[in-house]
Amino acid sequence: MPFLVRPATPADAPAIAHIHVTSWRETYTGLMPEDFLARMTDEAARERREAFWTRHLGTETGEVVLVAEREREVVAFASAGPPRDHPGVDAELLTIYALRAAQGRGVGRALM
């Protein structure tokens, strides 16, 4: 089943926060110190991410944030915006995160 890619809204903040912390845990376990990873992926971190994305998606930032859905569940997201340090480039990819279950299935390509 293909992914549905659409602009993110403030209502997507909880799903984006979940993906943000879960993908860190899924990707970096065994690669980063466990105490650091625990702080980056605990409930407090998820709450901080949700608050950030709620604010961020509710304001004009010049960024584009897209989510990818499969069977009505948000499984990945990406954001892009004006280049921060790359003269002559139109835009810069700022984030791209996907749940492990969605990886390797074309979701990154769909978001790009």
- Give residue-wise pLDDT tens across range 54-101: 999 988 888 899 999 999 999 999 999 988 887 888 889 999 999 999
- Give residue-wise pLDDT tens across range 42-53: 999 999 999 999
Predicted pLDDT of residue 91: 87
The C-alpha atoms of residue 65 and residue 7 are separated, in whole angstroms, by 6
pTM: 0.89
Residue type, position 54, single letter: T
- Give residue-wise pLDDT tens across range 18-43: 999 999 999 999 999 999 999 999 99
The total number of structural domains in the chain stands at: 1
The C-alpha atoms of residue 77 and residue 43 are separated, in whole angstroms, by 20
Predicted pLDDT of residue 54: 93
> Domain span at residue 31?
4-111
Predicted pLDDT of residue 1: 63
**CATH number of the domain encompassing residue 93:** 3.40.630.30
What are the C-alpha distances in Å from 65 to residues 16, 28, 36, 44, 95? Answer: 10, 23, 27, 23, 9
Predicted pLDDT of residue 83: 85
Predicted pLDDT of residue 109: 92
